[in-house]
């Protein structure tokens, strides 16, 4: 399993992992700016963008494949689904991850009796059920949910929608959604030894702020930065502040 990746810049290696339903191109603006000091690799996760589909999207197996694809120690930024993969990567290959940035993500994406910081499983299964008959509309509705509550939410959603298929029509979204429904990475937190910056939005409807706070509290070397007016896309809605915070983290651990 090798994932498509676009690389730009020179310097320490930084791997960017996107969220469900999108592709590495969602990071284009951020990657272009970071390329002045970093060699930035924007990955298309399996079944997304230009990367081939997999029958089962197993976050641990994807993490192992990425560790093999980028064997030198790297900085890793994971957003949403990408953040779940990044947690597995850092826990399973601690010597390969120099630093970690977890953006609007969670160790568990569905709620339960001991985990209120997530969506109800029924809501996520409804997305899965809708994919077969209303593929484009389902993705666009999901994009709208990601921007809800952020400044200029409609403009953000339109911009994301316009680039939705920029890397091709995704071929394997359902297995990745099943991964989000089933994976529980909370036991991994104690094994993530990389210095980790947790970045979240106080208005996030997909990964509520409590998930970010839990990660920062339970990771051995976690620090937290919350964006008060942001939803699920702080690297887009609060681009300048996000970049400044990320650069400080990366430079400190370069």
Q: Mind listing the pLDDT tens digit for each residue in 163-179?
A: 888 888 888 889 999 99
- Mark whether 204 is an active-site residue: yes
Question: pLDDT tens for residues 75-121?
Answer: 999 999 999 999 999 999 999 999 999 999 999 999 999 999 998 88
Task: Place 194 in a pLDDT band, splitting at 50, 70 and 90.
Answer: very high
Residue ranges of domains in the chain, CATH in brackets: 5-252 (3.40.50.1820)
Given 232, 237, 238, 249, the catalytic residue: 232
- Mark whether 13 is an active-site residue: no
Residue 144 annotated as lining a ligand binding site: yes
Residue 81 annotated as lining a ligand binding site: yes
Task: In whole angstroms, give the CA distance from residue 88 to residue 250.
Answer: 20
Given 44, 58, 183, 204, the catalytic residue: 204
- Mark whether 182 is an active-site residue: no
Given 80, 99, 106, 231, the catalytic residue: 80
Residue 143 annotated as lining a ligand binding site: yes
């Amino acid at each position: 399993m090798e994932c498509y990746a676009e690389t730009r810049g020179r310097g320490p290696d930084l791997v960017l992992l996107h969220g469900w339903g999108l592709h590495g191109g969602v990071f284009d603006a951020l990657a272009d700016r970071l390329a002045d000091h970093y060699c930035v690799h924007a990955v298309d996760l399996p079944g997304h963008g230009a990367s081939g589909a997999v029958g089962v999207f197993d976050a641990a197996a994807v993490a192992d494949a990425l560790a093999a694809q980028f064997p030198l120690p790297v900085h890793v930024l994971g957003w949403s689904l990408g953040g779940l993969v990044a947690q597995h990567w850092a826990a399973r290959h601690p010597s390969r991850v120099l630093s970690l940035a977890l953006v609007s993500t969670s160790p568990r994406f569905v709620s339960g009796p001991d985990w209120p910081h997530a969506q109800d499983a029924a809501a996520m299964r409804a997305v899965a059920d809708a994919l077969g008959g209303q593929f484009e509309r389902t993705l666009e509705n999901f994009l709208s949910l990601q921007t809800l509550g952020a400044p200029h939410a409609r403009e953000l959603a339109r911009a994301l929608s316009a680039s939705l298929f920029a890397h091709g029509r995704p071929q394997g979204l359902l297995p990745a959604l099943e991964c989000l429904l089933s994976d529980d990475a909370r036991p991994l937190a104690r094994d993530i030894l990389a210095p980790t910056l947790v970045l979240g939005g106080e208005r996030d409807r997909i990964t509520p702020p409590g998930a970010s706070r839990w990660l920062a509290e339970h990771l051995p070397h976690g620090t937290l930065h919350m964006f008060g007016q942001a939803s699920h896309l702080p690297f887009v809605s609060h681009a300048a502040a996000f970049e400044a915070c990320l650069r400080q983290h990366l430079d400190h651990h370069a």
